[in-house]
Chain A
Amino acid sequence: MISTSTINDRLQRAFRPTQHGVIGLTEQFLAACIGVDLEIKRVGDRCVCLWTEGGNAEQAPLPIPPAAFRTILARVAALCNERSPGSVSPYGGEARLAVGEAEVFVKFVNTPQAQELQVKNDRSGNGVPPSKLANVDATAGDVVAK
Chain B
Amino acid sequence: MWLLHGTTRLRAESIDRTGPDVNFVEPGGVGIAENFSFTVESMLSRVGESANYARGKAAAFPNEGSPAIIAVDVPDEVVRLAAIEHLSLFAGLIEYNEAADIGELVRLCGGVIQFDPGPALDNLLAMWGSLAKEIRGVT
Bound: A75/B86 CA distance, A: 15
B52 touches A81 (CB 8 A): yes
A residues within 8 A CB of B110?
21-23, 71, 74-75
B-contacting residues, A59-74, CB 8 Å = 63-68, 70-71, 74
Name the one of B29, B32, B93, B116 contacting A64, with C-beta atoms under 8 angstroms: B93
Name the one of B29, B60, B86, B94 contacting A25, with C-beta atoms under 8 angstroms: B94
- Interface-facing stretch out of A12-20, A101-109, A120-128: A12-20
In the complex, the chain A residue whose C-beta lies closest to that of B117 is: A67
Q: Does B30 make an interface contact (CB < 8 A)?
A: yes
Bound: A61/B59 CA distance, A: 34
Q: Does A100 make an interface contact (CB < 8 A)?
A: no
Q: DSSP class of B's interface residues: helix, strand, loop or mixed?
A: loop
A residues within 8 A CB of B91?
63-65, 68
Q: How far is the CB of B131 from chain A (nearest CB, A)?
A: 24
CB 8 Å contact bits of A60-99 with B (1 = contact, 0 = none): 0001111110110011011001000000011100000000
CB 8 Å contact bits of B52-76 with A (1 = contact, 0 = none): 1100100110000000000000000
Measured CB to CB, the residues of B under 8 A from A are 25-26, 29-35, 37, 45-48, 52-53, 56, 59-60, 86-87, 89-96, 107-110, 112, 114, 116
